[in-house]
Amino acid sequence: MSDVKKVVLAYSGGLDTSVILKWLQDEYQCEVVTFTADIGQGEELEPAREKAVKFGVKEIFIDDLREEFVRDFVFPMFRANTVYEGEYLLGTSIARPLIAKRLIDIANMTGADAISHGATGKGNDQVRFELGAYALKPDIKIIAPWREWDLLSREKLLAYAEKHSIPVEMKHKNGGSPYSMDANLLHISYEGRALENPAIEAEADMWRWTVAPEAAPDAAEYVELEYQGGDIVAINGVAMSAATVLAELNRLGGKHGVGRQDLVENRYVGMKSRGCYETPGGTIMLRAHRAIESITLDREVAHLKDELMPRYASLIYNGYWWSPERHMLQTMIDASQVHVNGWVRIKLYKGNVIVVGRDSKTDSLFDANISTFEDDQGAYNQADAGGFIKLNALRLRIAAKLRK
């Protein structure tokens, strides 16, 4: 079919990529190298190795990328308070550039001619994987089976798997296809089945990481987060690595029903898509980071960050993590975080993340002597405000007189 001799497949061991593995072997008559990323999806990865061995794969990579994922991708994104379309915390989007990077690393290591992925021709992930791959290795060949084969439904995939004796787990209890799910340390997403009707509420037993807010503990829990350079480095006084921080925040948030989202988003390819997401740790991180910035960032720096954030969010959502414009914005964002040091105290209660305190001994710009409602001992001359207001009103007064 082509001159491809070896291809690196992003392989989860689930339905789609298990079918793709066999399909690549049959259609391309090539050697397949499998790459499975542990980015905190919370699933046993050895079954993926066993499946790959069963189908004759000789080079199998199962890489623990949890620390790299949170340290080099999630944390930099949250320094910008990144939210796509006002709601989505980009849990799937931010994992794709890391997977693309590792696919190219393995292709270089093994001398592979191509890489392959299981993203469909309707979705965003094909764009994210391939833009990243081309940015890192411009001449790489990419095989996207969903754009080539005729197995264009999950039922057809299940039938193919049965025909070729490919083991598949997690079939839905009612006999249909399982939800399309994606999990990592930042979130878990759900698409498909009843969720394709945006008017229908998601099934209560669909959620995996979080309790329902109404079933969360009746007692609030206080948590203190310590920041250095815009990143959380300790929880309740215990120093932690990046991945450990996020895992602990997921546990705490999930316990209190924090981080459930049900939204319809605009995909880069043009369609609208309904998805449900659980992002407990990320929801806490966003709220707390804005709190520590509120006392450590200059007003105009904070406002400029807020103005640029939607563009930055779109770059990540659309797959441009490795682009020069994202690198440029990241340099600016990271420079703004030098003085984002201190602590934030939050209260978790029935789905809510409530900020109850924040302070920085070294970098707080909050001056109680100036902002106090009591006697400020001359720290602020209130008479100065009169001229300030008149100068800012000058253009308004001129226009008002003209229009009379």
Catalytic residues: 16, 96, 125, 180
3-class DSSP state of 164: coil
The dihedral of CA 225, 227, 233, 239: what is its sign? negative
What value, to the nearest 5°, has the Cα angle with vertex 209 and ends 356 and 123? Answer: 110
Closest CA to 186 of 259, 241, 262: 259
Cα 118 from Cα 36, distance rounded (Å)? 12
Contact 318, 331 (CB under 8 A): no
Q: What is the Cα–Cα distance from 216 to 91, expressed in whole angstroms?
A: 23
As a whole number of angstroms, the distance between CA 359 and CA 298 comes to 15
Instruction: Output b/e per residue, 294-323; b: 16+ Cβ within 10 A.
Output: ebbbeeeebeebeeebeebbebbbbbbbbe
Give whole-number Cα distances, 190 to 195, 231, 260, 278, 281, in Å. Answer: 8, 28, 11, 9, 17
**C-alpha angle 395-397-402 in degrees, rounded to nearest 5:** 95
CA–CA dist 60, 32 (Å, integer): 9
> CA angle at residue 184 from 178 to 189, to 5 degrees?
40
> Could you tell me which of 171, 138, 135, 150 has the C-alpha nearest to residue 23?
150
Residue 37: strand, helix, or coil: strand
Question: Based on the number of CB atoms within 10 Å of its own CB, is 162 exposed (0-12), middle (13-18) or buried (19 or more)?
Answer: exposed
Query: How far is CA 87 from its chain centroid?
Result: 12
CA–CA dist 37, 184 (Å, integer): 10
> Cβ distance 96 to 132 under 8 Å?
yes
